[in-house]
Amino acid sequence: MSKLVINSLFLCLQNLIIHKHTEANIQHTNKHISMKSSYLIFTAFLALASCALAFDPSPLQDFCVAINDTKNGVFVNGKFCKDPKLATANDFFFSVKEGNTSNSLGSKVTPVTVNEILGLNTLGISLARIDFAPRGLNPPHTHPRGTEILIVLEGTLYVGFVTSNP
C-alpha cells in the first residue's frame, strides 16, 4: 500500500510540475504574441503617420472673373467672382499702348494683373508687356517656382538662364 501511495504522490507531483511548466509556456507564448502584435501595430502607425499628401486643392470653378459687385458674387482669392455664364471675351482681353523706353535701361515693363484682365483671377498667371529700345536691357532676375515665356514681335532678344545648381 505504501508503494501505491508513493506512486500516486509521485504521479500527482509530476502532473503538477507538467501543469506549471505548460502554464508558464502558455503565458510566455501569450506575452510573445502580445509583444509581436504591439510591434506590428506600432510599425503600422509609424508608416501611416509618415505618409504625407501635398497637393493644391481643386479650384471651386474653372475661372473666376473678378467683379466689384458684392451682392451677387462668390468671394474667391480676394475678389468676388462673376457668374461664369455671364463671362465674355472682353473679361480676358487687355490692350495697352507702347511703353516709354527713353530711360537708362531702354525698356518699359507694363505689368498685367487681375486689375487689367479680370479673367486672370484664380488662374495663377502673371503677364507683363515689355517694350525695348534698341540695345535696351531687362535686368537679370529670377522667378522662383515660376516660368517666363517671351514672345518677340520684332527684332532679336538675347536671353540667359539662372539655375539653382551650383
Would you call 66 helix, strand, or coil by DSSP?
Answer: strand
Q: What is the pLDDT of residue 26?
A: 55
- pLDDT attached to residue 51: 67
- Pairing, β 79-81 against β 66-67: antiparallel
Is 107 within a domain?
A: no
What does the pLDDT read at residue 115?
87
Return the closest-CA partner of residue 137 out of 112, 99, 101.
101
For residue 19, tell me if it sits in a domain: yes
Residues making up the binding site for oxalate: 138, 143, 148
* pLDDT score for 124: 80
Binding residues for Mn(2+): 141, 143, 148
CA distance 17 to 25: 12
Give me the number of domains the chain comprises.
1
In a domain, 124, yes or no: no
How are the residues of the chain apportioned to helix, strand and coil, as percentages rounded to the nearest 5?
Answer: 35, 10, 50
Structural domain boundaries, residue 13? 1-54
**How far is residue 141's CA from residue 13's CA, in Å, rounded to a whole number?**
91
Q: What is the pLDDT of residue 4?
A: 59
CA-CA distance, 139 to 82, in Å (whole number)? 38
Look at residue 2 and tell me if it is in a domain: yes
pTM of the model: 0.55
Does residue 75 sit within a domain?
no
Is the residue at 162 inside a domain? no
Binding site members: 138, 141, 143, 148
What pLDDT is stored for residue 68 in this prediction?
A: 78
What residues does 144 pair with on adjacent strands?
A: none
In the predicted model, residues of the chain with pLDDT beneath 50 are none
Residue 34 belongs to some domain of the structure: yes
